[in-house]
Chains A and B, each alone.
Chain A
Amino acid sequence: MNEVDRPARWPSLALEAAIALVLQSTWLHRLTFRGASIDLLVVFVAWYAATAGPGRGLVFGALCGLAEDALAMQTGVAHTVALALAGAVCGLGSRFVLPDSVFAIAGIVVAGALVNGAVFWAAMSLGGYPAGLGGLHFHRTMWSGLVDVVCFLVLWSAWAWLRNRQSIR
């Protein structure tokens, strides 16, 4: 197993998720592009699921989603279901595409963002969210896929740079 496909440990995952949640609820809402803002949790769940498989991806996604639902308003368990399924799909995706390059994982992150958006808005709609906004949510989900993959590439570059520095030392 090389450095790219080694799954992270649970304590570091929990810390990453907590930081992502706090950043999303304080700073990241300022960085929006065509109505879509960066969803760090989706990026982390997809990244982790791509290296750890569908089972762990589902569990990590469900836990992250539950925390997001607890902090959000009027969402019930929509985030929980959406992120859990996104984690499972990303984990399954990694069985068809070898996640040994940054671009393979980037593709999985895009898939995760799209699945997350689709399932989230479907769950919200079932929960009674006003109908007739499907087109808007579709566009927002598409843009969020783009924004999330850019965010992933930036994070991955930083992570790879840190790894290289450590290995040089």
Chain B
Amino acid sequence: MVPIYTSRGEGKLLAVIGGIILFALVALLQIDAARKGQESFLSQLVTTVAVPVESVFAAAGSGLHAAGASVVNFPRLSVENARLRDELHTLRAQDSALREAAAVAPEVQRFALRAARLSDAIPATVVGYDPSGAVNAITINRGSRAGVEQGAGVVDAGGVVGRVDAVSPFSAKVLLITDYTSSVPAVVQQGRWWGIVRGSETRVQMTYISQDAKLKAGMRVVTGQGRVFPPGLLIGHIISVVRGDASLYQVAKIQPAAAFGRLEHVLVLPKPGSLTK
């Protein structure tokens, strides 16, 4: 039986067809932007609208967390405060001595100069995470207006966090080093053995390490020469080593130095290219 369309039925049909065409157009734009590794117009719009709301929620969450933690931890805070004050005095003295040493050695002076230029880093606050948790990524509240560039490295007080993958005017999305798609050239500090650090969900692992390397738990792993991070930034510490007899390489499991469980404040580094200028 052939359906008979009234003017009302035709209007509904046209609305459905129009909706499908509009939806297909948006989907194509999304796919195209994802392939190019850029933010689509829709993503920029949604992120720009969502970031202020996320900032409020994130601030409220961290405020509640901090209040709860300070109540629970109050008895040992004064003891810890005294210990940290002592440590600060010691570190200040060490810092002064190291600056003096850096000033007299030309090679070290160059390194110190590079480290000093890390002060060009842009401080940012973490306002959101990937909504589905499928990709290990965070959203920060600084974007292209603040000078954040795509591909820039991101660190926190502990160590390497990730790299900027997409930038909007007022926010940026950072792919964490714990994500499966992340890879960072790295080096074991004691021994200078090279490898690639890849994400493995909650931790990271260093692959392609030569079988000759004598690795031990506790060794520090730092960034190597790459396009995203300046060399020497702490990634984490080795916790175990997998050494297959038939394999050409070793794999080291690493506990990241960055506090991925409670990321709040991070620094977006200038690209290494701009550091060597």
Hey, which bits of chain A sit against chain B, CB under 8 A? 21-27, 29, 32, 35-37, 39, 41, 62, 66-77, 79-80, 120, 124, 127, 129-130, 133, 136
What does the 1/0 interface line of B256-269 toward A look like (CB < 8 Å)?
00000000000000
Most chain B Cβ neighbours within 10 Å, of A24, A39, A69 = A69
Which of B1-9, B104-112, B131-139, B141-149 contacts the other chain?
Answer: B131-139
- B27, B166, B181: which contacts A80 (Cβ < 8 A)? B27
Most chain B Cβ neighbours within 10 Å, of A35, A41, A70 = A70
Identify which of residues 15-61 in chain B touch chain A, using a CB-to-CB cut-off of 8 Å: 23, 26-27, 30-31, 34-35, 40, 42-43, 45-47, 50, 53-54, 57-58, 61
* CB-based contact B31/A72 at 8 Å: no
The number of residue pairs between A and B whose CB atoms lie closer than 8 Å in the complex comes to 104
Closest to A37 in B: B133
Chain B, interface residues (CB within 8 Å), range: 35 or more
A57 shortest CB reach to chain B, Å: 15
Most chain B Cβ neighbours within 10 Å, of A23, A74, A124 = A74
Return 12 A-B CB contacts under 8 Å, by A number: A25-B139, A37-B133, A70-B30, A71-B47, A71-B131, A73-B130, A73-B173, A75-B134, A75-B135, A120-B134, A127-B31, A129-B180
Chain A residues with Cβ below 8 Å from B26 are: 66
Contact of B204 with A by CB under 8 A: no
* CB-based contact A69/B30 at 8 Å: yes
Contact of B128 with A by CB under 8 A: yes
